[in-house]
Amino acid sequence: MLKQIVRRLGTAVPSLIGVVIVTFLLTRVLPGDTAAYFAGPAATPQAIAEIKTKLGLDQPLFVQFLAYVKDLATGNLGMSLTTGQPVFEDIRARLPASAELTLLGLILSVAVSVPLGILAAVRQGSWIDHLCRVVATAGVSLPVFFTGLLLVYVFYYKLGWAPAPMGRLDFIYSAPDTVTGFYLIDSLLAGDFELFRAAWSQIWLPAVTLAIFSLAPIARMTRASMLSVLASDFVRTARASGLKPSKVVMGYAFRNALLPVITTLGMVFSFLLGANVLVEKVFAWPGIGSYAIEALITSDYAPVQGFVLAMAILYVLLNLAIDILYGLVDPRVRIEA
Amino acid sequence: MRGKAMSLAATDAAPKDSLFSHARHIVAENPVTGIAFGLFALFALAALIGPYVVPHDPLASNTSAALQPPSATYWFGTDQLGRDIFSRVVVASRLDMIIAVASVALVFVAGGFAGIASGYFGGWTDRIVGRVSDTIMAFPLFVLAMGIVAALGNTVTNIIIATAIINFPLYVRVARAEANIRREAGFVQAARLSGNSEMRILLGHIAPNILPIMMVQVSLTMGYAILNAAGLSFIGLGVRPPTPEWGIMVAEGASFIISGEWWIAFFPGVTLMLAVFCFNLLGDGLRDLVDPQRRT
């Protein structure tokens, strides 16, 4: 098993190299003449040349690339002009907020879409099957920022069930001591249930928004893969042997149908990480997405590059985790390797 | 393999009238596709003649009529500057359609050609195209689009380019698979024997045959392209105020949602949703028409 994980780690290396090359190219393109940009509009040609030497922009591209890789290896992503902090520190401080929201959204989404997909497949053609189809088509058509605003209108303005969309905690509370960086977990660890309630009341609406967005692909894939497994010989044999329907569906069919669903998770994460940026803007969530948006508006490019790189590395790692999970769920993959 | 290629060649040459009766059958069986066609016609009409028929000037502000709820004069209400939201939504459809159509056309040509070439030639072409696609897929796509627009500059053209780039792998994958199963098909071998150059076989013989499948891909990704472009303008990239565009209009209305003025963000948002919904349904309908085996 360990050998296999190491081999899978190896497959992530080309992706990581590609990511680093692309982000390097984005730095070179951006924004026009980098030296002139840093020197400001009133700079003399001499000052621009000086900054070019200082930034190493007069070096051959390959040398610049090596310098870039060296910076990355030491965690140097440049300084943010807006916050005055190193970008690496900013991203590290804000990453837990984004991760907590994304993971909660994914958990909610899986909790609804997998049972929905299974029921739709077991009772093919029933109302729940049609519901599944409507959810799947509507889910991919809804702009996530629009769903978020609709939910805010209904649950904050009309019903008053949710607080104003203003970040992770109401200002009367102070953040729990950092253990994991996830307020929900940290507040429980501190034994502060009121704080947990406060954090939960802020997070549930954005998490539901993300969940609605990612329901569609998971439900659709669960249904399709359950349908093909339910039609297979071993399920027919299990049924013919007189096993209980629940045992056949959950014990035999579901385990086999799980594999394509896990593969879909890779795509779902790609959507979720992108949608996360939009949801963070709608709910003023202090994660790395809103950090990047603030930086974009003020033309502060170092944080944007740091953000793209951080997201890409995160995504490569998530795909790696999915691959390893796949190996755990499917013993055949382990034997072949 | 050979058998499959032969049968493919046979279905590729199916007579036209059977395709039409098949299309009628599909619309009859699935009226939703018919509705989607109607919606599509409506959006196309709005994009073509919208600016000439709207009741109000989409850019004219009228502070005495600011923040009015929907009424007989202002069908969708007015925004904080008193601009008519209905007119803005209709006029915006042109820009949104241009962004979607241009980006999809761009990736159709570039991704389609790269995919056909990599499926047909294999070898190094395939390896290079595959590597480029994999690298794009290594990013969360919306995040990559943000990065590209930030790097190239904050303009509508760059939104189109970024949207095309993130769709590139999808087109490559479809075109590559389709070209690959046809590379040794009878009609290709015949064309080669008659002395056609490789490029001519690629563009004149293989490309027309995979066109139907590629068209399905076009309508399936069109909805995604609109969503992506609207998402980018929602966070303030590309389109600038006061230009009417659905994403930016939702963004402008966002701050009024918490004080109860729902209509400013609601109508552009619903229109955006309908446009995406319409393209997704059309894509599903087209797929049933072209490739019935892939129905789910």
Residue A219 has pLDDT above 70, yes or no: yes
The one-character DSSP state at A180 is S
Cα separation, B134 vs B132, in Å, equals 5
Question: Is the minimum CB–CB distance between B235 and chain A shorter than 8 Å?
Answer: yes
Residue B10 has pLDDT above 50, yes or no: no
Residue A173 has pLDDT above 80, yes or no: no
Residue A272 has pLDDT above 60, yes or no: yes
Mean local confidence (pLDDT), A104-123: 89
| DSSP string covering A145-159 | HHHHHHHHIIIIIIS
Cα separation, B272 vs B293, in Å, equals 31
* A vs B: CB pairs below 8 A: 156
- Summarised one tens digit per residue, pLDDT across range B164-217 is 999 999 899 888 888 888 888 888 888 888 888 888 888 888 888 888 888 878
Higher pLDDT: A300 or A226? It is: A226
Which residues 51-80 on chain A approach chain B with CB closer than 8 angstroms? none
Q: Could you give the 3-state DSSP secondary structure of residue A32?
A: coil
> What pLDDT score was predicted for residue B160?
93
> What pLDDT score was predicted for residue B161?
92
> What pLDDT score was predicted for residue A301?
75
Residue A177 has pLDDT above 80, yes or no: no
- Which of A142, A274, A282 lies at the smallest CB-CB distance from B142? A274
- Summarised one tens digit per residue, pLDDT across range B280-295 is 888 877 777 776 665 5
Higher pLDDT: A133 or A106? It is: A106
The distance from CA B1 to its chain's CA centroid, rounded to whole angstroms, is: 33
As for the ipTM of the complex, it is 0.84
> What pLDDT score was predicted for residue B105?
92
Cα separation, B112 vs A39, in Å, equals 43
| Chain A residue with the nearest C-alpha to that of B132 | A18
Higher pLDDT: B25 or A219? It is: A219
> What pLDDT score was predicted for residue B106?
93
Q: Which residues of A touch B272 (CB under 8 A)?
A: 143, 146
Number of residues written out for chain A: 337
Residue B2 has pLDDT above 50, yes or no: no
> What pLDDT score was predicted for residue B292?
60
> What pLDDT score was predicted for residue B27?
65
> What pLDDT score was predicted for residue B91?
83
For residue A71, give the H/E element and its range. helix A61-73
Summary mean pLDDT of chain B: 81
Residue ranges and CATH numbers for the domains of chain B are: 21-57+85-295 (1.10.3720.10)
Which candidate, B74, B92, B90, places its Cα nearest to that of B263? B74
Mean local confidence (pLDDT), A205-214: 89
| DSSP string covering A283-329 | TT--SHHHHHHHHHHTT-HHHHHHHHHHHHHHHHHHHHHHHHHHHHH
Asked if residues B58 and B83 have their Cβ atoms less than 8 Å apart, the reply is: yes
Token duo for residue B142: 């919306």
Q: Could you give the 3-state DSSP secondary structure of residue A125?
A: coil
Residue A58 identity (one-letter amino acid): D
> What pLDDT score was predicted for residue A207?
92
- Report the percent of chain B where pLDDT is more than 70: 86
The pTM score is 0.83
Summary mean pLDDT of chain A: 81
> What pLDDT score was predicted for residue A43?
67
Question: Is the minimum CB–CB distance between B273 and chain A shorter than 8 Å?
Answer: yes
| Chain A residue with the nearest C-alpha to that of B166 | A270
Q: Could you give the 3-state DSSP secondary structure of residue A86?
A: strand
Cα separation, B13 vs A217, in Å, equals 34
Asked if residues B62 and B82 have their Cβ atoms less than 8 Å apart, the reply is: yes
In our burial notation (b when 16+ CB lie closer than 10 A, e otherwise), range B143-166 reads bbbbbbbbbbebebebbbbbbbbb
- Summarised one tens digit per residue, pLDDT across range B87-121 is 888 888 888 889 989 999 999 999 999 999 998 88
Asked if residues B86 and B271 have their Cβ atoms less than 8 Å apart, the reply is: no
Higher pLDDT: B8 or A181? It is: A181
Asked if residues B83 and B62 have their Cβ atoms less than 8 Å apart, the reply is: yes
Which candidate, A46, A286, B86, B285, places its Cα nearest to that of A294? A286
